[in-house]
Amino acid sequence: MNGQNRADIQIGQLVEVVQKHHQRSGELTEGVVKKILTKSPKHTHGIKVMLDDGTVGRVKNILEE
């Protein structure tokens, strides 16, 4: 599942995000959602979240329902 819909993402889920400085390379970082930062219900580039370790990025894949 992609991370474009805010309703699909919950705190505590395992996701893959792309950080701002990795957008060109597409390098993904795996982690657990700590906070959902995007307020709108949808975002074409992915919902912005903060992971448990403090990493901020846009969700590209939801690994765990």
Task: Report d(CA 9, CA 36) in Å as an integer.
Answer: 8
Per-residue confidence (pLDDT) for residue 25, from 0 to 100: 96
Assigned domain for 1 exists: no
Assigned domain for 13 exists: yes
CB hemisphere CA count around 28 (13 angstroms): 13
Count of domains observed in the chain:
1
- The residue segments making up the domain with residue 40 are 6-62
Interval 45-57: pLDDT, tens: 999 999 999 999 9
CATH number at residue 41: 2.30.30
- pTM, full prediction: 0.93
Strand positions, DSSP E, the chain: 14-18, 28-36, 48-51, 56-62
Confidence of residue 61 (pLDDT cuts 50, 70, 90): very high
Assigned domain for 38 exists: yes
Per-residue confidence (pLDDT) for residue 20, from 0 to 100: 96
Assigned domain for 46 exists: yes
